[in-house]
Amino acid sequence: MFQSRVTISNEHGLHLRAAARLVVVTNRFKAKVSLSANGKTVDGKSLLGITSLLAKMGTVLTIEADGKGEADVVEAVVKLVQSGFDAEG
């Protein structure tokens, strides 16, 4: 299992478009991914789950992955969040 934390710096937080980009990234990997924020943990490959976190700017997001590519998927999610959910992130 691999884990990291990152603070959402995007002024709109983890909105629908950002969540969709996050799902695209996590689904590139075989590892199981979980995201936690605001006392809630969800499947990191579920758009509905991710949007239910209601993660605003300043929220600390915990990313956990288990399985093949776990470190890579966590790194990719951290990079995406740090980029402000840039499409190229």
**How does DSSP classify residue 17?**
H
d(CA 80, CA 32): 18
d(CA 22, CA 77): 7
d(CA 74, CA 59): 17
Q: Is 12 a catalytic residue?
A: no
Count of positions (residues) in the chain: 89
d(CA 38, CA 57): 12
Q: Per the residue annotation, which of 15, 72, 84, 89 is the catalytic one? A: 15
The residues that are catalytic are: 15
